[in-house]
A and B are shown apart, each in its own frame.
Chain A
Amino acid sequence: MAKIKAATQEIYMPPKVTWKKDLKKNGTAYLFFAPMFIYQVLFAYLPMFGILMAFENFKVNKGYFKSEWVGLQHFVTLFTSEEFPRALRNTVVMGLLNLTIGFIMPVIFAFLLSMIKKKKTKRLIQTCSYIPNFVSAVVVCSLIREFLGHDGALTGLLSALGFEQQNWLANGDIPVFWLINTFMNIWCAIGWGSIMYVASIATVSGDLHEAAAIDGATRFQRLTKITLPCILPIIVMMFTLQVGLVFVTGFDKVLLLYMPSTYSTADCLQTYTYRLAFSSGANYGLSSAAGLFQSVMGTALLMISNYWNRKVSGMSLF
């Protein structure tokens, strides 16, 4: 992405290029941009305009301009309600779990993979571990129901460890759903998320390892003193990228898994917004207010992560 900036700077436009000449030379290029332009206006810019709804008592038949204007009332309603702060808390907690345990697992897996010496075994293990990434959210959630339901295989395992046999998905106690969500995401991402690290571990120079080995460094020492420092920039970069996206991804699985008995721990901002808008008695105004809060939070996080990324790795998105 650093290239966008570079490209902007490289462009040197002699002042004599007038609009007329530019249009003659690049008219077709502008025409090529037209589909993207229309697409963005329709599905990105018009919805931004639609945020007006968040400040209105929006009624579909009255439209944006004739609906009753209520100002910030929806936001007051949200923050004083019981459900919205709860959804915010759950979003943050699940996001943080994904950012910590969920982030570190692929890194560890990549280190372990890189220590397997037989190329074919390594390749086979990698291929297997990629599969869950391509399994759709609907299927992943069907699997979770199958395995954590009352008679599921994982429930059986947990019962053997001394937990009460139950449908774990209906359990609304505090860490249960959070842990299910975290481990589900790890299952999906552990192989696929490790690609970047495996690739960068492979570029660590063999000479360094050799020199260290001759000097008597053990394998563990080489791991912590050579490999880890070499790929640390990549790890930091990936982490900052994840920070920017942490509240955006993965809610569709929550939407498929949660049920009224687990709303207290499973409900997150997106699912709350979804319920307000698409269940019976739709409240579009309130729902878009919740959505706006979430958009603003997401944008802020992206900016922070981008700023941070530019500081540590010199690369940035915009």
Chain B
Amino acid sequence: MKVKRKRKDDGKELHMIENPSVGDRVADVIILIICIGVALCSVLPLWHIFVSSISDGQELLKHEGLLLLPVGERLNWEGYKAVFKDASLLKGFANTLLYCVAGTALGFFISVTGGYALSRTTKMHTFMVLFCTVTLLFGGGMVPTYMVIRQLGMVGTRWSLIIPGCTNSMLAIMMMNAFNGVPKEYEESARLDGAGHFDVLFRIMLPQVKNMSMVLILNSVVGQWNSWFNASIYVPNNRNAWPLQLWIRQMTADNENFLLSANPDYNRYLIQYVLIVVAILPIIAMLPFFQERLEQGVIVGGIKG
């Protein structure tokens, strides 16, 4: 915090001694315009999708180009109604939520306990670090992994989307670094009071690494929410286990053939847009609250890895 305040002061002093020339002012305006342009490019496509989702389907099909306001005589919420009436899409939502919660919980548990074991002074320390580093460097690849998961009997079940991708060596090593950063005195005093590893980890150490834990959890939730590839190879035929993202892909594909159907239901065409809005909205809503945490995660990850 102190550092931050100092930086701000530096900035102020700097501005005081500066006498911006005309050229400087023009440069400022150009820079601002470019940056706002980037921000608009980031947001406008999503806005386009949102206004499409409340447009009139038939009018929308005729429209070309970027939409800033919904087309059609009045706002059309039929697409949203259709989505919330569709049992399989609702199931997709429930699945995505399940994968987010279960995958994150399991992955977090494994990373934390693994990271803790890696960070302790033990005889096996070198072996354990090596054991994790090898898999960081080299992997079997897509097909052998698929075969293993198939032989474990997970293909076609929800387990294949919860267990295999829930953690990796990188996360355990990040956790290890976080634990290594906690002053030794914490552990020593707890030890003197008779605490074992179990108490040390869950009652002493874990509360000290809240920041890193938060970063791990957030990244895992976002990753699970957005993941589609694993589902497309492990549960392609079990629609009951499809996450939301696979349904979006399906709807996009359906829409390409939409005009071929004889008697089209135009609200059906809107479902793709509605699904995208619903899939993005929670993440955009949480972004402002977690922005700083996530930024910290990037910076820490960049410096250490």
Contacts and interface: CB of A to CB of B under 8 A. Distances in A.
Query: Lowest 5 CB-CB distances: which A-B pairs, in order?
Result: A47-B140, A206-B10, A50-B144, A36-B114, A291-B141
Looking at chain B's contact residues, the main secondary structure is: helix
A115 B177 CA distance: 34
A299 B172 CA distance: 20
Contacts of A151: 63-65
Given A277-B143, A288-B141, A192 B298 contact: yes
Interface stretch (A84-92, A142-150, A174-182): A142-150
Interface of B: 7, 10-11, 13-15, 17-18, 24, 27-28, 31-32, 34-36, 38-43, 45-46, 48-49, 63-66, 109-111, 113-114, 116-126, 128-129, 131-133, 135-150, 152, 163-164, 166-167, 169, 172-173, 176-177, 180, 196-198, 201, 222, 225-229, 233, 245-246, 248-249, 252, 256, 272, 276, 279-280, 283-284, 287-288, 291, 294-295, 298-299, 302-305
A193 B54 CA distance: 33
A102 to B, nearest CB: 15
A138 B228 contact: yes
Given A35-B109, A125-B35, A273-B143, A317 B136 contact: yes
B31 A109 contact: no
Contacts of B126: 8
A153 B48 contact: yes
Contacts of A39: 110, 166-167
Contacts of A255: 229
18 contacts: A22-B123, A43-B149, A44-B139, A46-B148, A112-B34, A131-B43, A134-B284, A134-B287, A135-B283, A137-B226, A138-B246, A139-B280, A187-B42, A196-B299, A205-B10, A213-B14, A291-B144, A295-B139
Interface stretch (A25-33, A75-83, A260-268): A25-33
B137 A318 contact: yes
A36 B110 contact: yes
Given A112-B34, A284-B147, A273 B177 contact: no
A295 B122 contact: no
A66 interface: no
Contacts of B280: 134-135, 139
Looking at chain A's contact residues, the main secondary structure is: helix
A292 interface: yes
Contacts of B173: 1, 4
A47 B10 contact: no
A288 B143 contact: yes
Contact of A3 (B180, B197, B225, B226): B180
A71 B100 CA distance: 42
A213 B14 CA distance: 8
Interface string A31-75: 011011101101111111111010000001000000000000000
